[in-house]
Chains A and B, each alone.
Chain A
């Protein structure tokens, strides 16, 4: 089953995470076959938020909401169950200073064919 691991952290604290360590983990995860996709993100000041309301496009500077911890990256993993996903998430280096939200993927339902 697929889970998305969203990596959150206070940006100052995250600066103490060396890229090499994060790279090493994501490589190991890919090689184990558990990782379907993973990326680090540029800092939150580079974010732009897009909304469409009543047909009108609104583009604002910054993340969708000001939060204490900011989204720093993600891992899309394949795991047998939540316990395995938790173990994979616990080894993500930023877990030591930030928070990893683990959420199961929902398969969107294709429309049913009429009988």
Chain B
């Protein structure tokens, strides 16, 4: 029975939680109610059997337990308002019906990612409240102290309460911008998990998995093309995980990866999602980045990569998203299509105007192009710059090795 309740917890606790927040209008009350509901389940289900609709049962019990708590607290409170609120809650007829519960998870995601909250709080809150990770797990994944993270979450909940950020799915008008906010948070979470070195804790890989799961939910509930595009992008990136690091934990560049290690199931799913997104004609930057990743995924080996198509996609992406990083990636693709000389001119233009000077990958790209042109001393300067800027151990070893190989 314990395993059964555990199973229900794993599959349904987040949905029950999201509904309880709507009914009780308070994150902390909802958390207590959730805990009470599952305690009650452990007690009563062995005796009375598992209910036909466990989710509705948990919501109902959680709500009544919360009302009891509020009544007990109200007894010590001089204000009459408390009692009125509790009575109103007790009468709420809209508790726990099928369709409402579906939207509640969306409400929760959009509330946690509200632009009025600081971006790092949006990430923390989403992981905690939507994904159900513990404060310790999140803190560990982002390499910050649990107390700092806890403070961040407390402040975010306080702002939701004090500024009255409503627990709502945005209107059709506001949806595109608000969805952007959510997708940005999710992608940030994915990248935290993606760029972590191998040999790091299991939690970091779980982050990417959480991001994928969350985006699947968004796609299921909203069917928005950019959400599909982001999911496709993440799946295509994730498909290369096994090939990206050597057994000693060093990064392996795309052109040198063993493509037989790429996960073909993820590639197939990502490509199918991408096609759906592109056919809607309402796609954006994530879908375009996914399209680029898909071109790589299609190539049986590095030499067969369709760089012409990739540069074409970067041209479109540059229109949708003006960013020096996109420009850099395009320059690298142009170098593959037209030769390193052309690419180097583009990279130097970016660095020359002061962009990306602290971005180690810009210097690494420059170094690689110089190396291919035989400009060894230039390559050395750039690799050294990249080395000075990196914070990841495996990357550092990689740049050191590139430098050592230059001397030969």
Q: In the bound complex, what is the Cα–Cα distance between A53 and B349 (angstroms)? A: 56
Max chain B Cβ within 10 angstroms of own Cβ: one of A83, A86, A104, A112: A83
- Please state if B78 and A81 are interface contacts (CB–CB under 8 Å): no
- Please state if A82 and B78 are interface contacts (CB–CB under 8 Å): no
Q: In the bound complex, what is the Cα–Cα distance between A104 and B116 (angstroms)? A: 12
Assess whether B281 is interfacial by the CB under 8 Å rule: no
Assess whether A115 is interfacial by the CB under 8 Å rule: yes
Q: Within B136-175, which residues are at the interface with A (CB < 8 Å)? A: 162-166, 168, 170, 174
Among B166, B170, B174, the residue within 8 A (CB) of A82 is B166
Q: In the bound complex, what is the Cα–Cα distance between A77 and B266 (angstroms)? A: 51
Assess whether A1 is interfacial by the CB under 8 Å rule: yes
Max chain B Cβ within 10 angstroms of own Cβ: one of A82, A104, A113: A82
**Contact indicator per residue, chain A 1-21, by CB within 8 Å of chain B (1) or not (0):** 100000000000000000000
Q: Within B56-88, which residues are at the interface with A (CB < 8 Å)? A: 78
Q: Within B111-135, which residues are at the interface with A (CB < 8 Å)? A: 114, 116
Chain B residues within 8 Å of chain A by Cβ, number:
11
Among A83, A103, A115, the residue within 8 A (CB) of B78 is A115
- Please state if B168 and A83 are interface contacts (CB–CB under 8 Å): yes
B27 CB to nearest chain A CB (Å): 16
B59 CB to nearest chain A CB (Å): 23
- Please state if B78 and A104 are interface contacts (CB–CB under 8 Å): no
The size bracket of the interface on A is 10 to 19
Q: In the bound complex, what is the Cα–Cα distance between A81 and B162 (angstroms)? A: 10
A108 CB to nearest chain B CB (Å): 15
A18 CB to nearest chain B CB (Å): 27
Max chain A Cβ within 10 angstroms of own Cβ: one of B78, B163, B174: B163
- Please state if A104 and B166 are interface contacts (CB–CB under 8 Å): no
- Please state if A112 and B78 are interface contacts (CB–CB under 8 Å): yes
Closest to B79 in A: A112
- Please state if B164 and A1 are interface contacts (CB–CB under 8 Å): yes
Q: Within A18-52, which residues are at the interface with B (CB < 8 Å)? A: none
Q: A residues within 8 A CB of B114?
A: 82
**Contact indicator per residue, chain A 48-90, by CB within 8 Å of chain B (1) or not (0):** 0000000000000000000000000000000011110010000
- Please state if A104 and B168 are interface contacts (CB–CB under 8 Å): no
Q: A residues within 8 A CB of B162?
A: 104
Q: A residues within 8 A CB of B168?
A: 81, 83
Q: B residues within 8 A CB of A103?
A: 163
A83-B166 contact, Cβ under 8 Å, with A112-B78, A115-B78: yes
Q: B residues within 8 A CB of A104?
A: 162-164
Q: In the bound complex, what is the Cα–Cα distance between A103 and B164 (angstroms)? A: 10
**Contact indicator per residue, chain B 346-368, by CB within 8 Å of chain A (1) or not (0):** 00000000000000000000000
Among A82, A112, A113, A115, the residue within 8 A (CB) of B165 is A82
Q: In the bound complex, what is the Cα–Cα distance between A113 and B168 (angstroms)? A: 37
Q: In the bound complex, what is the Cα–Cα distance between A5 and B116 (angstroms)? A: 15
Closest to A104 in B: B163
Q: In the bound complex, what is the Cα–Cα distance between A75 and B5 (angstroms)? A: 52
Closest to B174 in A: A83
A54 CB to nearest chain B CB (Å): 33
Q: B residues within 8 A CB of A86?
A: 116
B79 CB to nearest chain A CB (Å): 9
Q: A residues within 8 A CB of B116?
A: 82, 86
A88 CB to nearest chain B CB (Å): 14
Closest to A113 in B: B78
Closest to A80 in B: B166
Closest to B116 in A: A82
B74 CB to nearest chain A CB (Å): 15
Q: A residues within 8 A CB of B174?
A: 83
10 contacts between A and B (CB under 8 A): A80-B166, A82-B163, A82-B165, A82-B166, A83-B165, A83-B166, A83-B174, A103-B163, A104-B162, A115-B78
List 4 additional contacts besides A82-B164, A103-B163, A104-B164; criterion CB under 8 Å.
Answer: A81-B166, A82-B165, A83-B166, A113-B78
Shortest 6 CB-CB distances between A and B: which pairs?
Answer: A81-B166, A81-B164, A82-B165, A82-B163, A104-B163, A1-B164
